[in-house]
Amino acid sequence: MSSKIILTADETNFLNPKAGFFIPGFIPSLPKNGLPKVIRDTIEKLLFYKIPHKNGEVYQGVYGLRKIEAILLNAGFECKLYSPQVIEKYADDAEVFGVYSMDPLGIGPVTATLQGIFGHRRYNILGDTDYYNPPYTFSKFKELIEKLKRFDKPILVGGPGACQFEMLPKAQDELGIDYIVVGDTEIEAPTIFNKALKREKLPKLIRCKSLPKEIEIPVIKKPVCWGLIEISRGCDRHCKFCDPAIKRFRWIPKSRIIAEAKINLKASPEICLMSEDVFRYNTDSRNWIPEWGLVDLIRDLKKLPNLKSISLSHACLASALSAPEQIEALRDELNLSKENYSAVQPGVETGAIHIIKEYMPYKAAPFDPEQWHDVVVDGWKLLAKNYIYPAATLMIGLEDSEEDIQETISLMKKVTKYPGMFWPLFFSSLGTLREKHRYFVDWTQMSPSAQELYILAIKYMLKQSEKMHQHLFGTSLFARIFNHFTAIAGRAIVEEIDVNGYNKGHHEIVRFAKTLLKNFIQYTGEKLSNNSYNSEFHAEIID
């Protein structure tokens, strides 16, 4: 059967599941040519594997594309989701291409941060494109678009990254993309694709204005990569910098979540529940204290055959702290322990109370913004005690002063004795603050306090990551070798930072090689003698 609509996404959205889920998802944001060739080749071999497919159609697809697929199939269209690696073999069957994007122009928060730290100074400061070192997210997206353009069929680009073309509108013509679709598409997608199929006139940038109700969000038809399942859409905390805050907040009904779990379990025994705040599932909007809906959901999911594990995506520390008994119940329902731990991604963002008040006044709710430090520390400790380790984001560059950054450093130091990690990210102009768009911030122009914060976070992450291999890079033989290498490299990097700091663009290869060798001997000796690592990651957490 021919596919009038072919859906696809670039390779950074189809990472090797054996490489793990958390850290590997950030690696494609690295400036591609800023890595030594041997490391670059290793990373590419690990991440960009041969995507499993049958006659071009993938077995597990990107979640957003599976939603579009369900919308179009329900509306009577012919469509399939194809691997970007072989799409040219099947593209003649298409009349329209639908492309999902996550970070198509390489300006997302993670990419902007890594560009500032590892990218060329002249590009970061002046925007000189001759010195642009593109990340994998941009180069792989551009590579896919170039493939599709050869077939002279309409190309529609959507997904969470589509809004980047609103910030840089010239990029649409430069890449040769016919239509950009921004927003929730459940209501308007059938009309848009019907017009594209008939070659009827459409705006170059289409903004979908109809927000679907929860019952209008369809259940996926086929399995999703990583077993992802959306359990909410939007966010009622309404931080001014965040895109999800723009969308109407609603929970997805339990019956639909279970239906999607059954579909995902046909391909994988693992599922991951996605929400801006998983701990408050099925709790009324602006009721900040969780009502145990997540526990009830997990209990029902556990009844499904073939299920081995349930993981969680994003969460709020205030929600955890406001219902500590629920966190303890989650630990028991998920059978969490030192050997079988989980993780969530909370947004800590800043230690500056005035920034919390101005840009994210509901971040600490049901607690007051003035209590933010206590919320973070006590919420972090509560999760860590129950083997749910926070991997938190910080946001640098949203009008924060030197005093504000020192407040953030002070807050970070209060929790670095507990398991978890921080990801400091450059402020990215999203949400209602898009007018604050700016070029990448280069490491050499950052204040000493900002550099101190980044170095503290990197050292904390590298030290803590030694016990998180399973969640970082997976458990295959190749991944274990990579785990071993990254642990040794992490120790060497921490030692180099402690002794010499980070001097961008200047690398003492011989000196680092000696440090690496020393840590290899030490680390391997620990492994052989103790069958374990000397790490504080699993140290007892004392109240």
Q: CATH 3.80.30.20 spans which residues of the chain?
A: 223-438
pLDDT given at position 386: 95
- The strand order across the sheet containing 270-274 reads 228-230, 270-274, 309-312
- 309: nearest Cα among 7, 521, 522, 21: 21
Q: Which residues, listed in sequence order, are joined to residue 207 by a DSSP beta bridge?
A: 182
* DSSP state for residue 437 in the 8-state scheme: -
Angle, helices 477-500/509-530, rounded to nearest 10 degrees: 120
313, 275 in Cβ contact below 8 A? Answer: yes
pLDDT given at position 491: 81
| Percentages of the chain per state (helix, strand, coil), in multiples of 5 | 50, 15, 35
Query: Encoding tokens for residue 124?
Result: 């970061």
Instruction: For residue 154, report the phi and psi dihedrals to the nearest 5 degrees.
Output: -60, 135
pLDDT given at position 479: 63
Q: How many CB atoms lie within 10 A of CB 73?
A: 16
pLDDT given at position 532: 47
Q: String of b and e for 268-291 (b: at least 16 CB within 10 Å)? A: bebbbbbbbbbbbbbbeeeebebe
Q: Tens of pLDDT along 418-457?
A: 888 898 988 766 544 455 445 568 888 888 899 999 989 9
Residue 255 zone, left/alpha/beta (φ > 0; ψ -120 to 50; rest): alpha
C-alpha to C-alpha distance for 516 and 495, rounded to whole angstroms: 9
- 175: nearest Cα among 157, 151, 200: 157
C-alpha to C-alpha distance for 223 and 269, rounded to whole angstroms: 11
Q: CATH 3.40.50.280 spans which residues of the chain?
A: 5-207
Its sign, for the CA torsion 263, 267, 273, 276, is: negative
Its sign, for the CA torsion 73, 78, 84, 85, is: positive
CA 332 and chain centroid, separation: 27
Instruction: Give pLDDT tens digits along the chain (543 positions).
Output: 456 999 999 999 999 887 666 667 788 998 887 777 777 887 788 789 999 999 999 999 999 999 999 999 999 999 999 999 999 999 998 999 999 999 999 988 889 888 888 888 888 888 788 888 899 999 999 999 999 999 999 999 999 999 999 888 899 999 999 999 999 999 999 999 999 999 999 999 999 999 899 889 999 999 999 999 999 999 999 888 776 656 789 999 999 999 999 999 999 999 999 999 999 999 999 899 999 999 999 999 999 999 999 999 999 999 999 999 999 999 999 999 887 888 999 999 999 999 999 999 999 999 999 999 999 999 999 999 999 999 999 998 888 899 999 999 999 999 988 888 898 988 766 544 455 445 568 888 888 899 999 989 988 887 776 665 555 555 566 666 767 777 787 788 888 888 877 877 776 778 888 888 888 888 777 777 754 444 444 455 655
Using CA atoms, how far residue 355 sits from 237, 318, 370, 399, 484, in Å, is 15, 17, 11, 8, 40
CA 327 and chain centroid, separation: 23
Could you tell me the pTM of the whole model?
Answer: 0.90
Q: What is the dihedral of CA 269, 273, 274, 275, to 10 degrees?
A: 180
pLDDT given at position 540: 59
Q: Tens of pLDDT along 97-134?
A: 999 999 999 988 889 888 888 888 888 888 788 888 89
C-alpha to C-alpha distance for 442 and 426, rounded to whole angstroms: 10
Fold (CATH) for 223-438: pyruvate-formate lyase- activating enzyme (3.80.30)
pLDDT given at position 432: 47
- 104: nearest Cα among 6, 174, 16: 174
Q: Spell out the residues 6+ positions from residue 382 whose beta carbon is closer than 8 angstroms to its own.
A: 320, 321, 324, 327
Q: String of b and e for 142-165 (b: at least 16 CB within 10 Å)? A: bebbebbeebebbbbbbbbbbbbb
Percentage of the chain lying above the pLDDT 70 cut: 89
CA 427 and chain centroid, separation: 15
pLDDT given at position 515: 86
5-207 CATH choice from 3.20.20.70, 3.30.70.1280, 3.40.50.280, 3.40.50.300? 3.40.50.280
